[in-house]
Amino acid sequence: MAITAADVNKLRKQTGAGMMDCKKALEETNGDFEAAVDALRKKGQKVAAKRGDNEAKEGVIFAQATADGNAGVILTLNCETDFVAKNDDFRAFVQSIMDIAVKSLPSSIDELLALPYDDKQSVGEKITYQIGVIGEKLEISGLEIVKADKVVAYNHPGNQLAALVGINSTSSDAEEAGRQVAMQVAAMNPIALDKDGVDDETIAREIEVGKELAIQEGKPADMAEKIAQGRLNKFFKENTLLSQAFVRDNKVTVEQFLKSTEDGLTVVDFKRLSLS
């Protein structure tokens, strides 16, 4: 049967595939619209397999809180090139996945991929289909959830970096303070909320490095342990969120800033994702 320009355009609008790909799919399926959609999906699967070994180092990161503010999601979808990462259609696609994640709060990437994207495809199947449309490897490489009385999201300009902060208050002042702390998390990349959150392996490594440096500086071996402990305390101050100097006023710590905003205000959890 003859394939009309209107048929091709209809398929292109529904699938986002290129005009020639849509025309070829319709020709191969004798104008059967649903079969053509399936053919394009299969093409996506072939492209996915073909590009499986490619590196997907570009992409975008979105952070978003739920409508009630009790939870938030931070999500990374990678692609191969900066050109695709900056494309409005690609970003709209990432947002569509984010909308699903915010609604369902999946506990893992695999759980997100298994969720329905629409009445025909899962999120994972839709990503495979988009690989065929775009012609690049796409993959979700990061997914984090924060739950708290109030969760604040911060998206750094360019969407290469984002952060979520959960706080223990729902007041407007607390929310604004949480937003500033989310910017702190993005800028300073703390490794834990406080020293209790730093793993034993990291602590042991910092002590060992501190002792070795002290010995190299000519300090007696019996003093090296005390010097290493002092350096460890400095490490905690610089690398744990509540102990860090607040970026907007380095005379106070983040913990002091929060308490000055509202009595008892603190961060209960945070997450940060970055492409670099």
Phi-psi region of 25 (alpha: psi -120 to 50; beta: other; left: phi over 0): alpha
Instruction: Note whether 93 and 120 are same-domain residues.
Output: yes
Instruction: Give, in order, the Cα–Cα distances in Å from 89 to each of 55, 97, 132, 158.
Output: 21, 13, 14, 15
Number of compact structural domains in the chain: 2
Q: Where is 89: in which H helix or E strand?
A: helix 88-104
CA 273, 114, 155: angle at the middle one, nearest 5? Answer: 25
How many contiguous H segments (helices) and E segments (strands) does the chain have? 11, 8
pLDDT at 1: 65
- The arrangement of strands across the sheet holding 58-65 comes to 58-65, 71-79, 139-147
State the pTM of this model. 0.82
Per-residue pLDDT of the chain (276 residues; tens, 9 = 90+): 688 888 888 888 777 777 888 888 899 999 998 888 888 877 876 767 777 777 889 999 999 999 999 999 999 999 999 999 999 999 999 999 999 999 999 999 999 999 999 998 999 999 999 998 898 999 999 999 999 999 999 999 999 999 999 999 999 999 999 999 999 999 999 999 999 999 999 999 888 888 888 888 888 877 888 898 899 999 999 999 999 999 999 999 999 999 999 999 999 999 999 997
- Contact 168/70 with Cβ under 8 angstroms? no
Which residue, of 117, 147, 177, is where some domain finishes? 147
In a domain, 91, yes or no: yes
Domain that holds residue 30: 5-50
Domain CATH code at residue 26: 1.10.8.10
CATH at 120:
3.30.479.20
Residue 223 within a domain: no
What pLDDT sits at residue 50? 72
